[in-house]
A and B are shown apart, each in its own frame.
Chain A
């Protein structure tokens, strides 16, 4: 069974720092990996999708990398801002599992203070 782990569980940094959030998964046979942002009491907002054949994706100050062979992904946030404060979730779709099912990590709760 696919298991997704995110480290650290919580992170508190001053504004302006560059951040790395980590995600690891136990089964490297995946279709894709997706990073989400969740604000308190809100839904999930998709940030980046990395196909299994890709190594990275970029959107603005966000860069996500994927190393399928080692079962790892990182989300890099450049020049962090207080508005980046949220919980960040990574999720994978595994080959051979329930169609379209996302396996989620527990998330990294990020606080960026001014």
Chain B
């Protein structure tokens, strides 16, 4: 198993550009999520999905879109990049997080994004 994979590892964008961060997992996990990690802020949830076709917002969703057309893939789209979106982005997955369920979450290696 490759686990959770993310591409690209590094990216530099200019303000206003758009791009898609890719995330894939091969563990047949229903639950997938995106976090951003910033110095002094810790990790914050952007969007999450409990299965193909189902997505919802997390703590900091503005400026980001997601879709989930397959169980394996959960791409994160930056619509119009801003310097405030400079961060490290992590994708995570687990078995389904139903209320009362409690499953281990697995993280990808991250994408380091700089917006100039």
Contacts and interface: CB of A to CB of B under 8 A. Distances in A.
Contacts of A34: 104-105
Given A32-B102, A43-B108, A99 B42 contact: no
Given A43-B109, A51-B102, A100 B33 contact: yes
A95 B99 CA distance: 8
A31 B43 contact: no
A99 B40 CA distance: 24
A31 B103 CA distance: 9
Given A51-B102, A52-B102, A98 B45 contact: yes
Indicate the size class of the contact surface on chain A. Answer: 20 to 34
B47 to A, nearest CB: 10
A104 B94 contact: no
Interface in B61-116: 90, 92, 94, 97-110, 112
A102 B43 contact: yes
